[in-house]
């Protein structure tokens, strides 16, 4: 099972559960299949993914040709504002497949949530991002309400 949650790369944030892609604070519109392709790419950063592997994982119960994948990759490049030859995010490896080359940070998984700075007196982790279990964050918010 691949990780789910929130993935950050460059100035983008992809939320697999809410199925949203944001560039800074702005939502970037993607069709369902392009989103699924991007999600699979960011779940496998640095790995060379064959066209066959992408097709089987993004379209598991449907027969589609490689043209559908090429259209999704093209839509992703437009959404990520990647110009021809930039190769900041998705690299095409002729005869081999595709590779997501931007560093990806998993910000939160299903059992973790990012807690805003104002809500936590705790020390940030090495990346400066504060993590807490959902239960702890909720308990903290409830304590604050009782105190106020």
Classify 44 as helix, strand or coil. Answer: coil
What digits encode the pLDDT tens for the residues 8-48? 999 999 999 999 999 999 999 999 999 999 999 999 999 99
* Span of 4-8, 102-106, 117-121 with lowest mean pLDDT: 117-121
What digits encode the pLDDT tens for the residues 114-136? 444 433 334 444 444 333 333 33
Evaluate if residue 147 carries a pLDDT over 90: no
Helices (H), the chain: 32-43, 51-58, 66-79, 134-147
Neighbours of 43 (CB within 10 A): 19
Backbone dihedral region for residue 95 (phi beyond 0: left; psi -120 to 50: alpha; all else: beta): left
Q: Are strands 90-93 and 26-28 parallel, antiparallel or unpaired?
A: unpaired
At residue 110, the pLDDT reads: 52
Where b means 16+ CB within 10 Å and e means fewer, 18-33 reads eeebbeeeeebebeeb
């Amino acid at each position: 099972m691949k990780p789910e949650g929130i993935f950050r790369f460059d100035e983008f944030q992809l939320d697999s559960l809410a199925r949203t892609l944001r560039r800074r604070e702005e939502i970037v519109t993607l069709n369902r299949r392009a989103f699924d392709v991007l999600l699979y790419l960011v779940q496998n950063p640095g790995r060379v993914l064959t066209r066959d592997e992408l097709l089987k994982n993004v379209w598991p119960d449907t027969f589609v040709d490689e043209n559908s994948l090429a259209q999704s990759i093209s839509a992703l490049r437009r959404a990520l504002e990647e110009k021809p030859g930039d190769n900041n995010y998705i690299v095409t490896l002729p005869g081999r497949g595709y590779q997501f080359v931007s560093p990806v940070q998993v910000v939160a998984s299903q059992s973790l949530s990012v807690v805003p700075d104002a809500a936590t007196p705790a020390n940030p982790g090495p990346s400066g991002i504060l993590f807490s279990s959902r239960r702890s964050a909720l308990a903290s918010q409830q304590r604050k309400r009782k105190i106020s």
